[in-house]
Structure formats: C-alpha cells, structure tokens
Amino acid sequence: MKNRQHGFTLIEVLVALIILGISLGAIFQALSSSRRISLKADETLQAVRLAGNLLASPALMDIALKGREIAARIDGEAGWRYTFSALPLEIDTGNKRDVFQVPAMFELTLCLYHETDRREKAFCMKRWIRR
C-alpha cells in the first residue's frame, strides 16, 4: 500500500505566491498609471474650457487687439492665471528679409497656467483672427 499525502508541496505554494505577487503588481501599476492619465486629462479639459471662455469674451478680445498684453488670474478658478496678446499676422516667406504682413489679420496667443503646490503647468495656443 502506498502512503499518499494530500496537499501541496512547499515549492508549489511558493510558485503560486510568486505568480500572484507578479499579477497583483502589474494590476496596481496599471491602476496607478490610469489614475495619473485621468488627472492629466481632467486638467487639460479644464484648460480647454477656460480657453474657450476667454476667447469668447469680446471685451478681452478688444483689449488684446489694441496691442496690449493682458495677464490676470481667472476669477472663480483657484490656481489658474493667463496671458493673452494679439500681434499683426506676419507670414515668413522663407527668405529671412521678406515677411508678409496679412492685412486685418491678427495672431492671438493665449497661455493658461495652472499652479499647484508642486508645480506650474502651461497650456499655450495660437489662433488667427480677422478684424
């Protein structure tokens, strides 16, 4: 008669624990990365929303088109500030001496800055407008 023991050997248990540990590590790494990406996407979405609101402001647009650069904090949005300027649109023709200025066109530059306790992130965009 054979003496059979039921159960797992120590090696089998250790291999199972190593596989479980590697699997859990990969899962937690993926969750951490997805959280970071989600926070970054939320911040970018908020910057796009704020940029749309600023560009839709006729008063702000008129001030910038008069040649003045605007720099201010955004009311009601903690940690957000912006700079806004407009310059006559100039197109480089490839020759360093020749720059073509487009009549009645301006290049708007809007930069939003989000200040947190650890860092400041900038979101800048350029847009052409006819006036």
Q: Which two tokens stand for residue 54?
A: 């600023």
The model's pTM: 0.70
**pLDDT the model gives residue 90:** 87
**pLDDT the model gives residue 110:** 95
Please give the average pLDDT of every successive group of 10 residues along the chain, which has 131 residues: 73 94 93 89 94 90 87 92 92 79 90 90 92 82
**pLDDT the model gives residue 23:** 95
The domain segmentation of the chain, as residue ranges, is 10-130
**pLDDT the model gives residue 49:** 94
Tokens 């649109």 correspond to 89
Q: Which two tokens stand for residue 50?
A: 């704020």
Q: Are 128 and 103 in contact (CB under 8 A)?
A: no
